[in-house]
Amino acid sequence: MTAKTIVVGNFKGGVGKTKVAVMASWELSRELNKKVLLIDMDPQANATTLIARSAGITEIKSSIFEGFEKGDLASTVMHVNDNLDLIPATVSFKNLPKFLYSKFQEDLDQVSYLNRLLEPLKENYDYILIDVPPTISDYSDNAMMAADYVLIILQAQELSLEGAETYISYLQFMIDEYEAYIQVAGVLPVLLRPGGRVDHATVERAKEMFGDDNVFENYVKHLERLKAWDITGITYKDHHDNRAHQVFVDVVQEMLDKIEKIEGGEEAGE
């Protein structure tokens, strides 16, 4: 078992990126019975907060920044449930750029540090998902260099579409500049209003821009239950919960199908 690593991103904040990273990890581990590691690379630690609240975890004993400082991420892995682990973030992770610049002279070493630290962990998981801030930064550079795939989150509005387009350009830069080997798992539309003309027009533009096959058929529509989970943690109380979970199960399954198709095409081309 060697994990496939997926970074979840867009260069516009507030598009649901963290929620998708958390829920994809949750459903992969619980409903699809996969071994999953979620890495929170955002100093705001929203993914960490939601996972901890959902699992009843009241104390974060270590964080990703401590692992970076020690050169060992294994000691920072927090067990969430039978199939899900988390490498949590705390506000101290804001010091990552200073740390990398002081530790490494070469630019390539700075951006490849996470990839190096993840290697010993990959054999323990089926999937590793990475949540990053919506910025071009040392956080996103390290995530890109460590990942096999990127799942681009597209909120159905113009600025998010531009953010997705910028993300593709950034991906190409990382490939050209550092020989990163990363592919687009797909573009996932989120937070759509049912029947919203502007929303669906944006999705159609995305299909023209990125290709029909690359834009998910399953959308994450605007679900009030997702907001409630920010307060209560992820729950399974009623049919509203079940409906929200099913949305993400469908999204995750489509993501896996797209990855399988990509890898099947690569094997055919060998």
Domain residues for the domain of 21 are 4-269
Residue 136 pLDDT? 87
CA angle 190, 166, 187 (to 5 degrees): 30
Residue 95 pLDDT? 96
Confidence of residue 195 (pLDDT cuts 50, 70, 90): low
Residue 198 pLDDT? 65
Confidence of residue 135 (pLDDT cuts 50, 70, 90): confident
213 DSSP assignment: G
- Number of structural domains the chain divides into: 1
Q: How many CA atoms lie within 13 A of 19 on its CB side?
A: 30
Give the dihedral of Cα atoms 230, 54, 239, 153; nearest 10 deg. 60
**Helix/strand/coil for 111:** helix
CATH number for the domain spanning 80: value is 3.40.50.300
Confidence of residue 35 (pLDDT cuts 50, 70, 90): very high
